[in-house]
Structure 1
């Protein structure tokens, strides 16, 4: 398989890697619930972050960049601390807490509303005007959230604190990316710095709360999966894909496949009954994102 991949053209490699990242991200909601049903969220976050840190370190070492990345930390330590506390600490704490209180088919689509928050934060950060279509897209997106929540009442696991935490997590994720817009570090180096900074913080919290959960063997596999694939390889695949294609929009559009694939895994593995309101609400969220990103039409020459 690796040999076949190497014989693909650069553009085809980019699309293949982008699709691989999307397929991995589509399994995230299922993996989160499997892990959190057995382990406390600090246990899931500590082990998955540890796996990701080892992965990023290994890739940097393989590329001969590990020493340089450590030296760069001396220069960018302030930014590394800020962003490392945002992600993975605050963001994933909030997201996992939301998944703890919501069914997967509710939490995962709400997480996709981070794109609306990002567009507003980016406009404010860059001192750019907020377009009417940004507000329109947000209205469609949060209408989708309303459909999801109301449709699940009395039929799925859903709480108002859980919905609030899921929406709050989108603000932390968007803030993380906005702050990173002017980051001069290579993405892989930045992720290594952030997880390196976060690891001792997470370790102290974990030791304070206790480590008895490690005895529950059912939590190991999904948590290792989260660290290796969701936090680690999916990010590397996505960043590499964007570097290898000429038109990044082709890769970016693949992300719309993930949430619908996620509903399949949620149904097959978690055995959640997929409500009609779930794909409808998700459809509104993705429609809002499409509307925001749709290119402005140029006026007709005859008008």
Structure 2
């Protein structure tokens, strides 16, 4: 991975880590449904503007709704509408730091989804990773001050369910017909906007939106959804899916950092240790090995 792509990867992690900060700011005021309707709608409008500006280029292929409308609806539900709503629901109670680490459990759920969906066996390494991930989440949440708040248990369950949704969406995408990456992002955001609409009556807006709140909403929609997708798909194009997914390991770092800087969240020993254990579990499940460890092994095999 060259310097430019490494900078893209770090920028993407910083942006996605910031999404939990913006949700933590806006969700208690707007409620989960209103917040996420704004998020996906702003993202869809932004991507539509990008498609219009770059019209004719292969990277911004048209949606082809007649052929792919069912695909966009499924992806929009499982990869955007449902997990976004669940994370926004949890953000009313949990800190940005805890949310970002719980999000990192998605690859671990992926191993379980692959076992159920595709009958893919769980290796000993993956089983160890799942165990460590469970212990890390228990440590992180059990010692965090938010665990004493009313509804904290439900909020943690909602955040873990959101991570599970991402795993289901990934497994579905592997079996679905090939659709260009930009069209996937664009079409799924419009579909997500439709899916969230029925939830609005059940989660009325509890507070009054201020300019600061709306700025967080705009950042969540345009920066954390629209621009982040463009960066992510560019990384996939340049370095491949496996390398691009290493952003999973960087997101919690920035989630914890932004929470500490802007929301003055306390970063205790349990935050750091629990996060490290969760990320180690994720690495075991995904089979990820840092490049500086792979290189010596490859050299040894060549001797």
Regarding TM over 0.5, the answer is: yes
Per-residue Cα deviation, 1:160-207 (whole angstroms, up to 9, x for no partner): 111111111111111111111133101210121112123234345447
Q: Which runs of 5+ in 2 are unaligned?
A: none
1:161 aligns with 2:154: yes
Correspondence for 2:253: 260
Displacement of 1:213 in angstroms is: 5.2
Per-residue Cα deviation, 1:103-143 (whole angstroms, up to 9, x for no partner): 22222211211110112223443332221111110100110
1:55 aligns with 2:46: yes
Alpha-carbon distance between aligned partners in 2 of 1:103 and 1:200, rounded to the nearest angstrom: 28
Correspondence for 2:277: 284
Select 2:186's aligned residue among 185, 192, 214.
192
Query: Which runs of 4 or more aligned residues in structure 1 lie more than 6 Å from their structure 2 counterparts after TM superposition?
Result: 295-298
Alpha-carbon distance between aligned partners in 1 of 2:165 and 2:188, rounded to the nearest angstrom: 15
Deviates more, 1:54-63 or 1:108-117: 54-63
Correspondence for 1:220: 214
Select 2:135's aligned residue among 131, 143, 153.
143
Select 2:55's aligned residue among 48, 64, 67.
64
Alpha-carbon distance between aligned partners in 2 of 1:163 and 1:215, rounded to the nearest angstrom: 26
Correspondence for 1:5: none
Displacement of 1:266 in angstroms is: 0.7
Alpha-carbon distance between aligned partners in 2 of 1:138 and 1:210, rounded to the nearest angstrom: 37
Displacement of 1:285 in angstroms is: 0.3
1:240 aligns with 2:231: no
Alpha-carbon distance between aligned partners in 1 of 2:109 and 2:203, rounded to the nearest angstrom: 33
Give the paired residue count.
289
Asked if structure 2 preserves the Cα contact closer than 8 Å seen for 1:13 and 1:241, the reply is: no
Alpha-carbon distance between aligned partners in 2 of 1:275 and 1:80, rounded to the nearest angstrom: 41
Correspondence for 2:101: 109
SS state at 1:257 partner: helix
Structure 2 CA distance for partners of 1:211 and 1:240, relative to 1, 3 Å: same
Structure 2 CA distance for partners of 1:239 and 1:116, relative to 1, 3 Å: same
Deviates more, 1:147-156 or 1:136-145: 147-156
1:231 aligns with 2:225: yes
Select 2:29's aligned residue among 38, 41, 45.
38
Correspondence for 2:114: 122
Correspondence for 2:163: 170
Structure 2 CA distance for partners of 1:194 and 1:271, relative to 1, 3 Å: same
Alpha-carbon distance between aligned partners in 1 of 2:61 and 2:254, rounded to the nearest angstrom: 39
Deviates more, 1:252-261 or 1:159-168: 252-261
Per-residue Cα deviation, 1:211-250 (whole angstroms, up to 9, x for no partner): 78565333201111111121121121011012113x6555
Alpha-carbon distance between aligned partners in 1 of 2:230 and 2:148, rounded to the nearest angstrom: 34
Displacement of 1:273 in angstroms is: 1.6
Alpha-carbon distance between aligned partners in 1 of 2:143 and 2:206, rounded to the nearest angstrom: 37
Alpha-carbon distance between aligned partners in 2 of 1:64 and 1:240, rounded to the nearest angstrom: 17
Coordinate RMSD, CA, aligned: 2.9
Alpha-carbon distance between aligned partners in 1 of 2:28 and 2:205, rounded to the nearest angstrom: 16
Asked if structure 2 preserves the Cα contact closer than 8 Å seen for 1:34 and 1:222, the reply is: yes
Alpha-carbon distance between aligned partners in 2 of 1:26 and 1:154, rounded to the nearest angstrom: 19
Structure 2 CA distance for partners of 1:288 and 1:224, relative to 1, 3 Å: same
Correspondence for 2:68: 76
